Amino acid sequence: MTERPAPVPLPDGSDPDPYPRYAALRAAGGVHLVQEPTGLCRWTVTGYEHGRQMLADPRLTKDPRAAWDELLAAGYVTGDAETDQYMFHLLNSDPPDHTRLRGMIQRSFSPGRAAALRPRIERTAAALLDGLDPGEPVDLIADYALPLAVRTMGEILGVPVDDFDEYRVWASAGLTRPGAAGAVMSRAEAYTHMRRFFAELIGRRVAELRDAVGAAPAGEPDVLTSLLLAREAGDPLTEQETIALLIFLLNTGQEPTVSMLANGVLALLNHPDQLELLTADLGLLPTAIDEFLRYDGSVALSTLRIAREPIELGDTVIPQGGIVSVIMNSADRDERRFTDPDRLDITRHPNPHLAYGHGIHRCLGVPLARMTGEIAFGELLRRFPRPRLACAPEELQWRPTRVMRGLAALPVLLRAD
Residue 180 is predicted with a pLDDT of: 65
The predicted pLDDT at position 401 comes to 84
pLDDT higher than threshold 60 for residue 306: yes
**Do the Cβ atoms of 131 and 144 come closer than 8 Å?**
no
User: Residue 393: left if φ>0, alpha if ψ -120 to 50, beta else—which one?
Assistant: alpha
Residue 78 placed within a domain: yes
Angle between helix axes 187-211 and 164-175 (nearest 10 degrees) is 140
Average confidence (pLDDT) over 304-331: 96
pLDDT band at residue 2 using 50, 70 and 90 as cut-offs: very low
Please check the confidence at residue 41 and state whether its pLDDT lies above 60.
yes
Position 298 in a domain: yes
Q: What is the mean pLDDT of residues 168-189?
A: 76
Instruction: State how far the alpha carbon of 29 is from the alpha carbons of 26, 301, 341, in Å.
Output: 6, 18, 18
Question: Of 119, 15, 89, 69, whose CA–CA distance to 329 is shortest?
Answer: 15
Give residue-wise pLDDT tens across range 346-403.
999 999 999 999 999 999 999 999 999 999 999 999 999 999 999 999 999 999 887 8
| 7 is a domain residue | no
Beta bridge partners of 234: none
Mean pLDDT of the chain: 90
The answer as to whether 283 is a domain residue is yes
CB-count burial class (<10 Å; 0-12, 13-18, 19+) for 205: middle
Write out the residue range of the structural domain in which residue 253 sits: 19-413
Q: What is the pLDDT of residues 224-250, one digit of tens each?
A: 998 998 887 777 688 888 999 999 898
Tell me, what CATH number does 151's domain have?
A: 1.10.630.10
Residue 269 falls within a domain, yes or no?
yes
Determine, yes or no, domain membership for 14.
Answer: no
Under DSSP, the state recorded for 33 is E
Residue 186 belongs to a domain: yes
Is 6 within a domain? no
DSSP 34-48: EE-TTS-EEEEE-SH
CA distance 268 to 347: 13
Give me the number of domains the chain comprises. Answer: 1
